[in-house]
């Protein structure tokens, strides 16, 4: 069965709540652990069916955000998900309080119970209406971004389709394209400000009702962060500021020399080489064919996985009007199907997103038979699989980029390093915002601008660019939709750098290490997964400096003036 034939049917929310409640009552009345285990398994299987419809509806809404049917279904799910969450939390609370808990822990693992403790802290029926409001506002943000119609060169484009112009080798094209996009955000400034202001206040209200000081710790607990806290994250950001920011400043000087531009502006930063950034030498269909060959050769496991994805049409890659921006991977349990969503634009980012999301999809496909709670790791661990897959794909980049392969590799690796300061900027911005929920929109913009000057001192805007007012964060969907998630990309990037270094020495051995990590899924917490895979912990002081040594050696010994 292909994805188009996957049948979506809205579940009956009243029946679902009744059925879940019946299972909770049966669990509480069970006379032994064997009976409770059977009920747990039935509960998880039942919720998989509900979650499958949620995922299917969400995917189809993101493919076309103005489809009237799935628009209504998304609205329904925004309200239904918090109501169902109440029963999920009630069930895990019953597991926590079970007199047979030791037997349950032996069967399902201790991590499930640690996660349940956090779920208990982060939910109360009192916040259901606030969770519904949060969902509504997040959907409003997605629809606002997806509605963009930007006129450029006598054509109309959405935000994803404007990206190639912003990296064009013609500086005037880059400048005009950047200003057109910026002007669109300026024309919708009040809407973006209003949505985010309401999100911050809604999340802060949730935190207060649940007994938190503010949303920060609630945000951490919702992400099931067990191994570390905000102090560890601050020390990690400080490492990035100390070790990475000065090095990226040097990379930016090298870029300015390569491009022959003395007064580098923000619209120049996306261009890596004077004659243009390397691009894949074919369209999306061609790229999928190249990827099929790559995954056939990488391992028998990746071959089986990727052919499954292609045969079932579980990739939606083309950018289209009214399609949600960005890319993601999700999983539809009832069909045992990962799904990859992207917005190809003809740049090297197409290959990056294909390999990145394939890393997510391969991991969840590999661990699909684990407990639902263990199919995915926590976010920072999940991003290890995606970012490392980008590097494990390097031996096959020659098939995508042909004569531009070395340029791609230099740009890909240096770009990954350049990303780290931006990633921690996003994180520090959110910590400050949720520490001060009373901030006015102009205060948030001033905060962003000051943090840009700290972490991205080389970023200089055109004087006519609206982003010069501190509004770049409007573009970053995670700030609106997934608070505190973004630091996870940087943590995973540092770990992925270790995979890169190991793969330069022995690709086969590194692949085996990666595959073993995938098989663990989310059965261990972030630091426990690192320990199990014998990978370095980025929170340890000095670890970033050590991890960067082979990266710097590679980049510093490349004569980029020849590119």
In this prediction, residue 562 carries a pLDDT of 86
- Give the model confidence (pLDDT) of 488-508 as tens digits: 999 999 999 999 999 999 999
Split at pLDDT 50, 70, 90, the class of 232 is very high
Q: How far apart are CA 296 and CA 279, in angstroms?
A: 23
Q: What is the pTM of this model?
A: 0.94
Per-residue model confidence as pLDDT tens digits over 425-450: 999 999 999 999 999 999 999 999 99
Q: Which long-range contacts (CB under 8 A, 24 or more apart) does 474-478 make?
A: 474/185, 474/189, 474/192, 475/159, 475/185, 476/426, 477/141, 477/142, 477/145, 477/325, 477/326, 478/426
The candidate with the shortest Cα–Cα distance to 338, out of 60, 56, 10, is: 56
Could you read off the pLDDT of 333-378 as tens digits, one per residue? 999 999 999 999 999 999 999 999 999 999 999 999 999 999 999 9
Query: Looking at residue 561, what is its pLDDT?
Result: 87
- Please write the tens of the pLDDT for every residue from 238-287: 999 999 999 999 999 999 999 999 999 999 999 999 999 999 999 999 99
Determine the distance from the C-alpha atom of residue 234 to the mean position of all C-alpha atoms in its chain, rounded to a whole number.
20
CA–CA distance, 93 with 24 (Å, rounded to integer): 10
Compute the mean pLDDT over every residue in the chain, rounded to the nearest whole number. 97
The mean per-residue pLDDT over the stretch 199-213 comes to: 98
What local confidence, expressed as pLDDT, does residue 275 receive? 94
For residue range 27-62, list pLDDT tens digits in order.
999 999 999 999 999 999 999 999 999 999 999 999
Average pLDDT over residues 385-413: 98
Section 314-325 average pLDDT: 95
Distance of alpha carbon 536 from alpha carbon 384, whole angstroms:
12
Cβ pair 319, 345 in contact under 8 A: yes
Phi, psi for residue 7 in degrees, rounded to 5: -85, 120
Cβ proximity of 439 and 447 under 8 Å:
yes
Q: Looking at the domain that runs over 284-411+487-540, which CATH code has it been given? A: 1.10.1370.40
């Amino acid at each position: 069965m292909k994805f188009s034939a996957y049948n979506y049917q809205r579940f009956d929310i009243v029946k679902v709540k009744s059925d879940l409640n019946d299972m909770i009552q049966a669990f509480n009345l069970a006379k032994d652990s064997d009976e409770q285990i059977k009920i747990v398994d039935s509960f998880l299987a039942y919720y998989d069916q509900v979650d499958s419809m949620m995922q299917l509806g969400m995917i189809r809404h993101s493919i076309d955000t103005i489809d009237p049917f799935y628009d209504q279904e998304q609205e329904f799910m925004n309200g239904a998900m918090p109501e169902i969450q109440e029963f999920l939390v009630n069930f895990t609370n019953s597991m926590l309080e079970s007199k047979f808990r030791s037997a349950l822990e032996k069967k399902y693992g201790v991590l499930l119970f640690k996660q349940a403790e956090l779920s208990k802290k982060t939910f109360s029926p009192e916040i259901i209406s606030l969770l519904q409001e949060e969902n509504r506002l997040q959907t409003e943000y997605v629809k606002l971004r997806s509605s963009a119609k930007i006129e450029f060169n006598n054509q109309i484009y959405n935000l994803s389709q404007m990206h190639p112009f912003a990296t064009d080798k013609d500086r005037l094209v880059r400048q005009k394209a950047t200003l057109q996009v910026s002007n669109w955000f300026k024309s919708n400034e009040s809407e973006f400000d209003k949505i985010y202001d309401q999100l911050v206040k809604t999340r802060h209200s949730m935190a207060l009702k649940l007994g938190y000081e503010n949303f920060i710790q609630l945000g951490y607990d919702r992400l099931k962060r067990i191994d570390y806290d905000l102090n560890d994250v601050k020390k990690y950001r400080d490492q990035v500021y100390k070790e990475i920011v000065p090095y990226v400043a040097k990379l930016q000087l090298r870029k300015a020399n390569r491009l022959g531009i003395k007064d580098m502006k923000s619209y120049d930063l996306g261009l890596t080489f004077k004659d243009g950034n390397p691009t894949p030498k074919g369209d999306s269909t061609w790229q999928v064919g190249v990827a099929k060959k790559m995954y056939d050769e990488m391992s028998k496991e990746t071959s089986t996985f990727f052919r499954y994805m292609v045969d079932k049409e579980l990739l939606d890659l083309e950018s289209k009007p009214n399609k949600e921006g960005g890319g993601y991977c999700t999983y539809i349990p009832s069909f045992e199907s990962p799904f990859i969503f992207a917005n190809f634009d003809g740049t090297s980012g197409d290959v990056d997103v294909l390999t990145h999301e394939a890393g997510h999809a391969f991991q969840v496909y590999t661990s699909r038979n684990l407990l639902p709670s263990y199919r995915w790791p926590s976010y920072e661990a999940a991003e290890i699989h995606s970012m490392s897959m980008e590097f494990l794909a390097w031996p096959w980049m020659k098939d995508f980029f042909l004569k531009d392969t070395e340029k791609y590799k230099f740009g890909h690796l240096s770009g990954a390093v350049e990303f780290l300061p931006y990633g921690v900027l996003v994180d520090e911005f959110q910590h400050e915002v949720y520490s001060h929920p009373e901030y006015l929109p102009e205060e948030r913009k001033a905060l962003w601008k000051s943090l840009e000057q700290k972490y991205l001192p080389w970023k200089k805007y055109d004087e006519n660019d609206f982003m010069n007012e501190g509004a770049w964060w409007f573009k970053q969907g995670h700030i609106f939709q997934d608070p505190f998630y973004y630091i996870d990309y940087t943590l995973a990037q540092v770990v992925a750098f270790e995979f890169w270094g190991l793969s330069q020495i022995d690709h086969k051995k590194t692949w085996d290490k990666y595959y073993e990590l995938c098989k663990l899924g989310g059965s261990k917490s972030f630091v426990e997964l690192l320990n199990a895979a014998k990978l370095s912990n980025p929170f340890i002081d000095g670890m970033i400096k050590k991890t960067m040594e082979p990266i710097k050696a590679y980049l510093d010994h490349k004569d980029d003036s020849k590119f």
